[in-house]
Structure 1
C-alpha cells in the first residue's frame, strides 16, 4: 500500500466546532437534522415512515431554571415500588411500577399536574406515576445517547427466556427486576449530570408529554433491523474492535498511573463480588434445602401426634408447629438473600463493567492518538525525503511594480536561473505531491490537537468525576445491603430463640407435671 492510499479512506475535514460535540454527536439530533435538510417541506409527511424517527418530533420540555436556581440547592428523592399487573387495550398483560418522587426542584414541579404537599414545615412536594419496563428502557437509551462520556447505570436484562416460559409475572422475577430498577433510578438521581437532564425530569413527573414524546421519538427499525441508537453503538463497538485487532500490541498498554490504579481496584472488587456471589448462592441453596427438610420433618412429627392420648398428641403438635415455624423462617431468609442481597451484588458487578467500558473507551481514544501520531511522523518523513518542509508556508509577498521594467526583468531572470538550478522543484508532479503532503500534515496536526483535547477531557472525567461518584454510590449500596442482611439474620435467629424458648418452656412444664404425677403415690 502506497503512502498516498493510506489516507484515501479517512476523512479529515472538520468544521470549526467544539471538539467534544464533534466527537460524541447526539444521534437523535443528528438524524433529525439530516431528515430536515434532505427532504423538501411538502414531502416531510410522506417520507416520515421511511425515516428512523417520526417527523416533527417534539423535544421534551426543557426545565426553565432561573439564573439564581442552583440544582445543588434542591433535594430530590425517587423510589420505585409497588409492581402491579395490568392489561393493555389488546388484553395483553404487563407490569407497571410506581415511581414516587419527593422534591422541591421547580423544574420538576412545573412539569407535574398532580402534586401532594409532604409537610407544612417545608416546600417538599410529592408526585407519583406508574411506568412500564419499556419506559425505563427508553430513558436508558436516551441517557446513553446524550451522555456517552458518563456512566449510565445498566438496566436489568430483558430475559427473553422468561417470556417464553411465562415466568415474567412470577413474584421472584418481578421482585428482582424491581430491585434493579430502583437501583437504576437511585444512581441516576444522585448523578450530577444525569439527574439534571430534561428526559429524566420528564420521566419522574406525571406530565402527559412523556407519552407523546416517547411515541413521537420512538426509534423505528431500519432496513437492517437495528435502531439508530443501536446502530451507532454497534458501529462504534465494531470500529473499536477492528482498530484494536489491527493495532500493534505496543499501543495497547495503559500508561496513566491513576487509570491503572482505578482499573486494578475495579478488577479486585469485581473478583471479590463474584466470590461473594458464589459463596452466598451456595449457602442460600443450603438454606432452601434445610427449609424443605424441616418442613417435611414437621409433617412427619404431626402424623406421630395422631393418637388417642391427649398429652402425647399435644406435645407432638407443639413440636410440629415449632418445626413449621423454623421451616418458614428458613424460607424467608432464603427468599431475601436470593431476591435482594444477591441481586445487589450482581448489580454492583454490572456497574463495575459499565465503568470498565468507559475506561476502555478513553483508552481506545489514546490508542487512536498514537496511531494518528505515527501517521503524522511517517508523512513528515516522506515530506522531508522529497525536500519539502512540514511547517506551514508563509503568505506570499505582494509584488511591487515601483522598481521599473529593469528591476522587474532582473528579478524574472533571477527566478528563472534559480528554478533551472533546482530540477526537483521545477517538476510539476513533485510540487503537487509536496503540496498534498503538506496539506495532509496540516490536517493531521489539527486532528491530533482536537482528539488530544477530547481524550484528555474524557480521562479527567473518569478520574475526577465518574470514578469518585461510582465509588461513593457503590460503597453506600454495599453498606446498605450488608446492614440489611445483618438485620435479617438477627431477626431470623431472634425468632428462632423466641420460638424454641416457648416450646422448651411448654415441654418442660408438662414434663414436671408428669414427674409430679408419678411421685404422688
Structure 2
C-alpha cells in the first residue's frame, strides 16, 4: 500500500543578526525562528542559531545530493556591489539576514528539498548539526571535498567539445520558452531596479527639503517670540494672538519634519527590503541559467561519447578487415584512452596494429557503451527535472513578487496615512488672529533692510543653537 505524502506545517524566519568576536576573528550569527508540527523536529516552536558558513554548507550539501535540481542561491560573499561598507555594517548584516530568510524559505517551498535529511539536521534544535559538519570532508574554505567520483565523472573530462547540442529533445519547445521568459524577466527586473533606485534618490531629496522647510518655519517662531527690540519673550509673556500663531507655526514645522522622516523610513524599506529582494530574485534567475547550461553540457557529454564510440567501432571493423589505424583516429582514441584510464585506474599499452589492438579497442568500446548509456540517463534526468524546476520557480517567483508589491504598497499607504493624520489634525485658527501692522516706515527700514535681515538671521541661528533646536 502506498504511504500518503504528508505535508507538515513549517514556518521559518531569520532575525536578530548579532556580530560576535572570537579572538581576532569576527562573525555574524543569525537566529532562525521555527514553527512546525513536523514530528521529525521534536519541538513545535523554537529558535536555533546559525552562521553564514552553516547556510553555505547546507547549500553545498543540497547541491551535491540533488545535482539536477534548481537549488536556491545564497547571498554570495563576493557579490557585494549593492552593499555599502564592510561585512559587519548594519546595512550589510540587515540585507544578508533578509537574503538568508529568502533562501531558507525557497528551500522549504521546494517539494523535494523540503524532505531532504540534511535540511532536517540543519533545523534541529540539537548539537547534531555540529557533529554532521565535523563528519563532512571540508577544505580550508569550508567547501565539501568530493571524495567519490560522480556517475558522470568520465564525461566531465570530455565536456565543451561541441558548441551547441544537436540531440533533439521532446522538451525543446519548453526549453526555448523557458529561456525566452527567463531573459525577459531578468531584463524587467533590471529595469525596475534602475527605476526604483532613481525613485529612492528623489524621495531622499524630498525628505531633506521637508526637513529644511521645517527648520525655516521653526525660525519664524523665534521671530514671533521676540519683541521689536530683539528681546526673547517666554510664551506666557506673549499676547493671545501671537501665542496662537507661534504654536501653529511650531506644529506646522513639526509636521513638515515628520513628513520628511516618513519618506526616510520608506526609503529604508525600499533599499533594505524591496530592492534587496529584487537582487535575490535576479540571483535566482542566474542560478536557473546556470542549471540550463549544465543541462546542455550533459547533452554535449552524451554526444561526445557517442562520437568516440562511433569512431572506435569503425576502427575496430577496419582492423578486423586487415587495415590499420588512421593517424587522426589513433590520436583521438589515445586521448580518450588516457582520460578513461586516469578515471578507472586501468592501464595498458598503446594501440598496436595486431590482435592485441583489437582486444584493446573492444575493451574501450565496452566502456564507452556503458558510459554512453549512463550519460543519456543523466541528461534525460536533467531535462525532465529542468521542466519541473521551471514550474517550481514560477510559483516561487509569483509569490515573492506579489508579497514584495504588497509590502511596498503597505509602506506607501503608511506614509500617506500618517501624513494625512498629521495634517488633518492641524487646523489653522483663522478666527481670533488679527495681528495689526505695528510697523511704521522707520521700523520697516530698521528691521527689514538687507543688512538688518542678515543680522537678524545670524541672531536667530545663535539663539537656536543656545536653545538646542
Q: TM-score range by the shorter chain?
A: 0.7 to 0.9
Change (3 A) 1:254 1:271: farther
For 1:230-309, list aligned pairs within 5 A.
243-244=159-160, 247-249=161-163, 251=165, 256-307=172-223, 308=225, 309=242
| Match for residue 307 of structure 2 among 367, 370, 374 | 374
Q: Relative to structure 1, is the Cα distance of residues 261 and 240 closer, same or farther in structure 2, using a 3 angstrom cutoff?
A: farther
- Structure 2 portions without partners, runs of 5+: 226-241, 323-351, 438-469
Q: Do residues 480 (structure 1) and 394 (structure 2) align?
A: no
Unaligned runs of 5+ in 1: 1-66, 110-114, 116-124, 390-427
In structure 2, distance between residues paired with 1:161 and 1:77? 28
Seen in structure 2, the aligned counterparts of structure 1 residues 324 and 388 have a Cα distance that, compared at 3 Å, is farther
Pairing partner for 2:17 from 68, 83, 93: 83
Q: 2:65 maps to what in 1?
A: 146
Q: How does 1:110-121 map to 2 (within 5 A)?
A: 115=43
Counterpart of 2:49 (choices 130, 142, 147) is 130
Match of 2:415 in 1: 492
Shift of 1:368: 1.3
User: Counterpart of 2:77?
Assistant: 158
- Residues 490 and 474 of structure 1: CA distance in aligned 2, closer, same or farther (over 3 Å): same
Q: Secondary structure at the match of 1:512?
A: coil
Q: Aligned equivalents of 1:501 and 1:106: distance in 2?
A: 53
Structure 1 residues 469 and 335, CA, compared in 2 at 3 Å: closer, same or farther? same
Question: Contact between 1:388 and 1:434, CA under 8 Å: does it hold in 2?
Answer: no
Distance 1:230 1:282, change over 3 A: farther
Contact in 1 for aligned 2:206/2:263 (Cα 8 Å): yes
Aligned to 2:229: none
**Cα RMSD (Å) of the superposition?**
3.4
Partner of 2:235: none
Deviations 1:210-235 (A, max 9, x none): 223334536233xxx894549999xx
Correspondence for 2:265: 332
d(CA) in 2 for partners of 1:240, 1:315: 76
Structure 2 distance, partners of 1:516, 1:241, is 91
Which of 217, 242, 247 aligns to 2:136? It is 217
Change (3 A) 1:433 1:144: same
Shift of 1:270: 0.9
Relative to structure 1, the CA distance from residue 323 to residue 240 in structure 2 (aligned partners, 3 Å threshold; closer, same or farther) is: farther
Aligned position for 1:190: 109
Pairing 1:74–2:34 present: no
Where does structure 1 differ by over 6 angstroms across 4 or more consecutive aligned residues? 230-233, 239-242
Secondary structure in structure 2 of the residue aligned to 1:513 = coil
Contact 1:348 1:474 in 2 (8 A): yes
> Does the Cα contact within 8 Å between 1:84 and 1:95 map onto a contact in 2?
yes
**What is the total number of aligned residue pairs between the two structures?**
385
Q: Deviations over 1:25-58 (max 9, x none)?
A: xxxxxxxxxxxxxxxxxxxxxxxxxxxxxxxxxx
1:361 positional shift: 0.8
Q: What residue is the counterpart of 1:444 in the other structure?
A: 368
Distance 1:330 1:144, change over 3 A: same
The 1:82–1:328 alpha-carbon spacing in structure 2 relative to 1, beyond 3 Å, is same
1:248 positional shift:
4.2
Deviation digits for residues 250-285 of structure 1, max 9, x if unmatched?
A: 547986221121111111111111111111111112
Q: Is the 8 A contact 2:74 2:103 kept in 1?
A: yes
Note closer, same or farther for the CA distance 1:343–1:240 as it changes in structure 2 (3 Å cut).
farther
2:6 alignment partner, SS class: helix
